Chains A and B, each alone.
Chain A
Amino acid sequence: EVQLVESGGGLVKPGGSLRLSCAASGFTFTTYSMNWVRQAPGKGLEWVSSISTSSSFIYYADSVKGRFTISRDNAKNSLYLQMNSLRAEDTAVYYCARLYDILPASNFDYWGQGTLVTVSS
């Protein structure tokens, strides 16, 4: 069974940093591109970042470019999102999602349960 489990969310002050993790299991992690998608409270879905299988291709939304860094450790079946210079508008539930196709694509076939990041003083 495919499982994606996010962790690392919490309360952080504006300007602070946080690192999210996503532990993957139940599939061959090395053969799938991975992604982060977020959802602000009461709002719609917003794509954040994508990373290819070998980390050769990485994409970011303009809203996080230069502040967030996506990475993966294929030996540990894990995906990460390093978030720096956090702003109030980054407050959201962050989902880890597996990409069904190869990049560039937008068909996320499995999602984690999400981890809440709250940026507030």
Chain B
Amino acid sequence: QSVLPQPPSASGTPGQRVTISCSGSSSNIGSNTVNWYQQLPGTAPKLLFYTNNQRPSGVPDRFSGSKSGTSASLAISGLQSEDEADYYCAAWDDSLNGVVFGGGTKLTVL
């Protein structure tokens, strides 16, 4: 069981909006910023969002991130086939004194 539980899978059809949740606690998401990573098949992870809702250059504005209390979520609108990937949330954990990752959500575009 991951320190930051995520749904193992999510799916949607092209053009739909999909949301991926990330649940934490006061020692991680509740007191530190959340970051999201996208990992396309066979490639290294890529930073998708940092500091809760900041989008690096090159990331389409179809992607949005948010945080509320001890939970965070990633939303993808106008779903495209190239969005099919694994998505991970991450945060620093003050109790563990290290980084914790979510278990990952595999997004399938139907």
Contacts and interface: CB of A to CB of B under 8 A. Distances in A.
B101 A47 contact: yes
B44 A45 contact: no
Contact of B47 (A44, A100, A112): A100
A104 interface: yes
Interface stretch (A7-15, A20-28, A59-67, A73-81): A59-67
Interface residues on B, range: 20 to 34
Contact of B37 (A45, A105, A112, A113): A45
A101 B37 CA distance: 16
Contact of A112 (B44, B88, B99): B44
Contacts of A82: none
Interface of A: 35, 37, 44-47, 50, 59-62, 95, 100-101, 104-109, 111-114
